[in-house]
Amino acid sequence: MTKVAVLTSGGDSPGMNAAIRAVVRTGIYYGMEMFGIMRGYNGMLEDDIFPMNSRSVANIIQRGGTILKTARSKEFFTYEGRQKAVANLEKRGINGVVVIGGDGSFTGALKLSTEFNIPCIGLPGTIDKDLYGTDFTIGFDTAVNTAVEAIDKIRDTADAHDRLFIVEVMGRHAGYIALHSGISTGAENILIPEAETNIEEVIASLSEKEKRKKLVNLIVVAEGDEFGGANQIAKIVKERLPHLDTRVSILGHIQRGGSPSAMDRLIASRMGYHAIESLMEGRHNVMVGVLNNEIAYTPLEIAIREKQSISSDWLRIVKILAS
Torsion of CA 95, 100, 106, 109, to 10 degrees: -20
Residue 106: strand, helix, or coil: helix
In the chain, how long is the greatest CA-to-CA distance? 72
171 is in an annotated binding site: yes
Give the Cα separation of 317 and 323 in Å (integer). 10
DSSP 8-state class, residue 125: B
104 is in an annotated binding site: yes
308 is in an annotated binding site: no
270 is in an annotated binding site: no
39 is in an annotated binding site: no
Tell me if 129 sits within 8 A of 174, measured CB to CB. Answer: yes
Give the Cα separation of 293 and 43 in Å (integer). 34
Q: CB count, 10 Å around CB of 277?
A: 15
Tell me if 174 sits within 8 A of 49, measured CB to CB. Answer: no
| Nearest to 296, CA basis, from 126, 112, 122 | 122
Distance between start and end Cα atoms, the chain: 57
1 is in an annotated binding site: no
Give the Cα separation of 89 and 201 in Å (integer). 56
305 is in an annotated binding site: no
5 is in an annotated binding site: no
274 is in an annotated binding site: no
Give the Cα separation of 299 and 301 in Å (integer). 5
Give the Cα separation of 15 and 19 in Å (integer). 6
108 is in an annotated binding site: no
290 is in an annotated binding site: no
229 is in an annotated binding site: no
| Nearest to 99, CA basis, from 297, 286, 295, 296 | 286
80 is in an annotated binding site: no
155 is in an annotated binding site: yes
Q: Is 47 a catalytic residue?
A: no
40 is in an annotated binding site: no
255 is in an annotated binding site: yes
163 is in an annotated binding site: yes
23 is in an annotated binding site: yes
Give the Cα separation of 133 and 228 in Å (integer). 28
Q: Which of 128, 130, 225, 264 is catalytic?
A: 128
Residues 6+ apart with CB under 8 A from 36: 5, 6, 7, 20, 24, 49, 50, 51, 52, 56, 67, 68
Which amino acid type is present at position 305? R
Binding-site annotation, residues for Mg(2+): 103
Binding-site annotation, residues: 11, 21-25, 72-73, 102-105, 126-128, 155, 163, 170-172, 186-188, 212, 214-216, 223, 247, 253-256
Catalytically active residues, by annotation: 128
Binding-site annotation, residues for substrate: 126-128, 163, 170-172, 223, 247, 253-256
Binding-site annotation, residues for ADP: 21-25, 155, 186-188, 212, 214-216
